[in-house]
Structure 1
Amino acid sequence: MPTYNVTVQDVSTLIAYSAGWVDSNHDDPLWANYNGGTFHATQTPGASAEITFFGTACWVFGAKRSNHGSYTVTLNDSDQFTGSGFSDNNVFQTLLYNNTALPLGTHVLTIANGNDPNKFVDIDWITFTSGDGNSSSAGVTTTLDDATSNFTYLPSVDAWPSQANNNLAPQYFNSTLHATNEQNVQAVISFEGNAVYLYGATSDNHGIFSVQIDDGPISNLNGSAPTFRPQTLLWYQGGLKAGAHNLTMTNTGTSVLANNWMDVDYVVTETFASPPATSNQGSKAKTPIIAGVVSGVGILLIWIIAGLIFWSKRKKRRSRFAMEEARAYYFNVSPPDPVIVPPDPVVVNGSCLPGPLQSNSTPTPDVAAGRDRKRRPDMGRAITTPGAINEATSFSSLPMQAPRPSTSSLLSAPAANNVRRALQPHSPLGSTNQPSWTTLLFTQSSSTGRSITSSILPSNSQLSAPIREQDWGPVEMVTLPPDYQQATERRTPPG
């Protein structure tokens, strides 16, 4: 429930005064400076006033004057405060004591006069704060008049005589009241709420009465006052559980009937509850909507997860397929097609007779070695030096293919030492044997005048095909280093 303040005037029966207190002494020329023109004061050392309240904070207001002395305030019989009401300049309606750090619950506050002789302490009003501070709670205030059906008068309505001709009736709420001077006569008020206020009148012909909420403790109150005071707060009770309650008011006075009146005017109830919930129909209407939203979100999450799994697997398949394609490309290369190597032009021109093959059997080309030779073209190269015959080192280590020479390059003889080499596999015409490897080396005349030709040619049976210029293989031009004579020859400077 939200917090709210309850103000209790000094004339309320909620404040229980011990002997020695004077109610609103009008012999005091400054009495009108008090709130509502009422106050309770005492000169009796140790005279006390007590109030029981339900809340979290409290404030006590009074006056500080030149004839006031010390006072003590005790809270819950443990926390004691000593203050001074003395002031050279009169101060009215001022704070005498406060405590704002109380736990929510029922507390008892007692204020007592000090031991200073002939010094006063007075009370103007007391305020306390109730509620738990939950501002979201909605408060509903209901006023119940004494003429409503919420009031039940016992033992019968006859014990409560009519006040229709009472000239004080207009001063009551709605100009109605119920009053009795019979002992043990009760008024039972039924209400619903968390707090209840009971209002009536105090007067010089009113006496002691009691109040009880449900089966709770009984509180005895004094309705006596030096003057008539209508619509006075007689009782307050907070911290009630939500629901129906009964307040029972009983006239317990033992004085003569003329001074034992008790009256009841009206009751105010307060109900604090959380914001009202929607009806059952609204709840039922919202249930399918909530279920639909939850189901939709769940299905969406399932689709998202399935899509991520599918995308991840597809990406893995594509990556694996790409790796397999690359592996097939690099490791499953087909061997090159065999080509026909043209015969040595020197043999064709008749300069040299064809020589015997290195082996009587036709070797089988090594495909793996051919792949290696593609990577390293320098393997299996024949080296020609002046005055020596060069031969290929190994058939299997020769390159698979070499550039084809032109006719002019084969027939020309440059001044420098040039070696032309053609390396080709060839298949003899008209033969079903595997192609053999042939290294062709052509060495042109050097400066020494020597011409060296070395070749490994197929046998005569392999040269049955006519020789064509376009069948000649490519020739690689290699510049030979000078021989010893050239390197040591003394050169005559020009001119």
Structure 2
Amino acid sequence: MAFNLTVDDFDPLVAYSNYGDWQTPNPQDNPTWWNATQDVTGSQWHQNTYHLTTVAGAQATFNFTGSALHIFGGTGANPNYTVTVDSASQVLTTANNTAGRTLLYGNDSLALAPHTVQITNNGGGLLLDLFVVGTKLGGDGATFTNTTVDDRNTQTLSFQPGGGWTQQTGDNFFNQTSTYTGAQGASIETNFSGSAVWVYGDQVNDHGSYTVYLNNSAVGTYTQRSGCANGYAKSCEKLHGLAFFAGPLPQGQHALKIVNAGGNGQGQQTFFDFDYLEYTTPSVWPQLAGAGGGAGASGTATGAETATGSAPATTSAHSGAAAGGVGTALLGLVAAAWVARKLVGQ
């Protein structure tokens, strides 16, 4: 059963070659807009964020597992950028949109397998807004049981060391709570039975690297630095960042562990924030080539909140972005005019 995963340009799953090469709005100016509709934000950009560059050679990289990929953003009047999926590069000069979001790249014919996409600005203007991945989280006709695990759920979650984590509250967190650490090597662990898992936490410029382990194997290192290019500080906070996603996963128990690096290599302490996670369990599991059954996972996640129905919202059919991407040129006039000045007036 096919689903679309939406990844915002700010999410830690997207890595940028140099923060200083990219200009972004400050999500802290409107902290609730990650979940606001366009009539509230007045912006056509997904979650009212984007990454904009006019620097030749500026790059963004994104790893995903899926059979389709669509990248949305904007360009100047003379687009010139390269998209590389795995080892195949394609120089694109056809997207031409100075007023709003457009499709920068689309491919519906990928193998359902791990892929790496890299998008490089070749000297014009390039704006990245969101990535949409087509993937498969269940077999044909599957229904899904979605489970949400809040940071306060100590029946399901293990925070190590116990004294290395600090609880906090705030109206904009899920269930008004969140937990963070600045301790080097501090970890959070859980077990779950699902075909996909999502982890959420806020991003701030004093946050840093963390490594994710799935079934005892390191699967990626990411950063929760928000990246508004104003240096190390408690600034540029964006709530509800997608800190990690994995799927499709084979049937069975899976062990998830996240380890905070605790420093940025320049003598500054860095933090990791955990707000909540979700996983989905299908009634019919997807058939995956070479599936190993989740070897290494043990135990059962308990004490979580569950709901039966469709997959979590982040994987539902993507409304507005994919289907209407090219047609949004006249929306969000204030942001569009600003971007047009940046891209055309260089």
TM-score, normalised with respect to structure 1: 0.49
Per the TM alignment, residue 248 of structure 1 is displaced from its structure 2 partner at its CA by 0.8
- Relative to structure 1, the CA distance from residue 23 to residue 265 in structure 2 (aligned partners, 3 Å threshold; closer, same or farther) is farther
- Relative to structure 1, the CA distance from residue 263 to residue 257 in structure 2 (aligned partners, 3 Å threshold; closer, same or farther) is farther
- Relative to structure 1, the CA distance from residue 82 to residue 133 in structure 2 (aligned partners, 3 Å threshold; closer, same or farther) is farther
Q: Which amino acid aligns with 2:101?
A: Q
1:217 counterpart SS class: strand
Q: Which of 53, 75, 91 lines up with 1:42 in the alignment?
A: 53
Per the TM alignment, residue 239 of structure 1 is displaced from its structure 2 partner at its CA by 2.1
Using the alignment, how far apart are the partners of 2:206 and 2:71 within structure 1?
Answer: 29
Structure 2 equivalent of residue 245 of structure 1: 254
| Larger relative helix fraction | 1
Structure 1 contact 65–85 (Cα < 8 Å) conserved: no
1:124 counterpart SS class: strand
Structure 2 contact 3–137 (Cα < 8 Å) conserved: no
Per the TM alignment, residue 21 of structure 1 is displaced from its structure 2 partner at its CA by 3.4
- Relative to structure 1, the CA distance from residue 39 to residue 85 in structure 2 (aligned partners, 3 Å threshold; closer, same or farther) is farther
1:267 aligns with 2:273: no
Structure 2 contact 159–187 (Cα < 8 Å) conserved: yes
Using the alignment, how far apart are the partners of 2:84 and 2:242 within structure 1?
Answer: 24
Structure 2 equivalent of residue 162 of structure 1: 167
2:167 counterpart SS class: coil
2:171 counterpart SS class: helix
Using the alignment, how far apart are the partners of 1:45 and 1:201 within structure 2?
Answer: 30
Superposed CA RMSD:
2.2
User: Per-residue displacement from partner, 1:102-160 (whole Å, max 9, x unpaired)?
Assistant: 1111111111111x3xx2212100000110774322222211111111110112x2111
Structure 2 contact 16–60 (Cα < 8 Å) conserved: yes
- Relative to structure 1, the CA distance from residue 45 to residue 253 in structure 2 (aligned partners, 3 Å threshold; closer, same or farther) is farther
- Relative to structure 1, the CA distance from residue 266 to residue 162 in structure 2 (aligned partners, 3 Å threshold; closer, same or farther) is closer
1:111 aligns with 2:126: no
Using the alignment, how far apart are the partners of 2:94 and 2:74 within structure 1?
Answer: 7
Structure 1 equivalent of residue 81 of structure 2: 71
1:74 counterpart SS class: strand
Structure 1 equivalent of residue 199 of structure 2: 198
User: Per-residue displacement from partner, 1:305-328 (whole Å, max 9, x unpaired)?
Assistant: xxxxxxxxxxxxxxxxxxxxxxxx
Structure 2 contact 5–135 (Cα < 8 Å) conserved: yes
| Larger relative strand fraction | 2
Q: Which amino acid aligns with 2:48?
A: G
User: Per-residue displacement from partner, 1:465-489 (whole Å, max 9, x unpaired)?
Assistant: xxxxxxxxxxxxxxxxxxxxxxxxx
2:216 counterpart SS class: coil
- Relative to structure 1, the CA distance from residue 178 to residue 47 in structure 2 (aligned partners, 3 Å threshold; closer, same or farther) is same
Structure 2 contact 178–273 (Cα < 8 Å) conserved: yes
Structure 2 equivalent of residue 140 of structure 1: 145
**4+ long deviations beyond 3 Å:** 255-259
- Relative to structure 1, the CA distance from residue 257 to residue 270 in structure 2 (aligned partners, 3 Å threshold; closer, same or farther) is farther
- Relative to structure 1, the CA distance from residue 162 to residue 37 in structure 2 (aligned partners, 3 Å threshold; closer, same or farther) is closer
1:250 counterpart SS class: strand
User: Per-residue displacement from partner, 1:50-95 (whole Å, max 9, x unpaired)?
Assistant: 11111110100001333x53001111112x22212774x6231210
Q: Which amino acid aligns with 1:253?
A: G
Structure 2 equivalent of residue 131 of structure 1: 136
User: Per-residue displacement from partner, 1:348-379 (whole Å, max 9, x unpaired)?
Assistant: xxxxxxxxxxxxxxxxxxxxxxxxxxxxxxxx
Structure 2 contact 73–129 (Cα < 8 Å) conserved: yes
Structure 1 contact 52–107 (Cα < 8 Å) conserved: yes
Structure 1 contact 105–239 (Cα < 8 Å) conserved: no
- Relative to structure 1, the CA distance from residue 21 to residue 151 in structure 2 (aligned partners, 3 Å threshold; closer, same or farther) is farther
Using the alignment, how far apart are the partners of 2:248 and 2:137 within structure 1?
Answer: 9
Using the alignment, how far apart are the partners of 1:262 and 1:140 within structure 2?
Answer: 28
Structure 1 contact 139–270 (Cα < 8 Å) conserved: yes
Structure 1 equivalent of residue 64 of structure 2: 53
User: Per-residue displacement from partner, 1:166-209 (whole Å, max 9, x unpaired)?
Assistant: 5xx22110011111111110011221101111100101221111
User: Per-residue displacement from partner, 1:240-287 (whole Å, max 9, x unpaired)?
Assistant: 121211111111132378651111011110122329xxxxxxxxxxxx
Structure 2 equivalent of residue 96 of structure 1: 104
Aligned residues: 259
Structure 1 equivalent of residue 214 of structure 2: 213
State the structure with more CA Rg: 1
Q: Which amino acid aligns with 2:10?
A: V
Using the alignment, how far apart are the partners of 1:253 and 1:16 within structure 2?
Answer: 19
Q: Which has the higher contact order (CA 8 A, sep 6+)?
A: 2
Per the TM alignment, residue 161 of structure 1 is displaced from its structure 2 partner at its CA by 2.2
Structure 1 contact 213–246 (Cα < 8 Å) conserved: yes
- Relative to structure 1, the CA distance from residue 243 to residue 103 in structure 2 (aligned partners, 3 Å threshold; closer, same or farther) is same
Structure 1 equivalent of residue 10 of structure 2: 11
Structure 1 contact 181–258 (Cα < 8 Å) conserved: no
- Relative to structure 1, the CA distance from residue 145 to residue 85 in structure 2 (aligned partners, 3 Å threshold; closer, same or farther) is farther
1:150 aligns with 2:156: yes
Using the alignment, how far apart are the partners of 1:206 and 1:73 within structure 2?
Answer: 29
1:103 counterpart SS class: coil
User: Per-residue displacement from partner, 1:403-443 (whole Å, max 9, x unpaired)?
Assistant: xxxxxxxxxxxxxxxxxxxxxxxxxxxxxxxxxxxxxxxxx
User: Per-residue displacement from partner, 1:4-61 (whole Å, max 9, x unpaired)?
Assistant: 00000000000111015324157xxxx9442222111222222211111111101000
Using the alignment, how far apart are the partners of 2:179 and 2:163 within structure 1?
Answer: 11
1:170 counterpart SS class: coil
TM-score, normalised with respect to structure 2: 0.70
Structure 1 contact 35–93 (Cα < 8 Å) conserved: no
Using the alignment, how far apart are the partners of 2:75 and 2:106 within structure 1?
Answer: 16
- Relative to structure 1, the CA distance from residue 86 to residue 131 in structure 2 (aligned partners, 3 Å threshold; closer, same or farther) is closer
Question: Superposed, which structure 2 residues align to 1:415-434 within 5 Å?
Answer: none
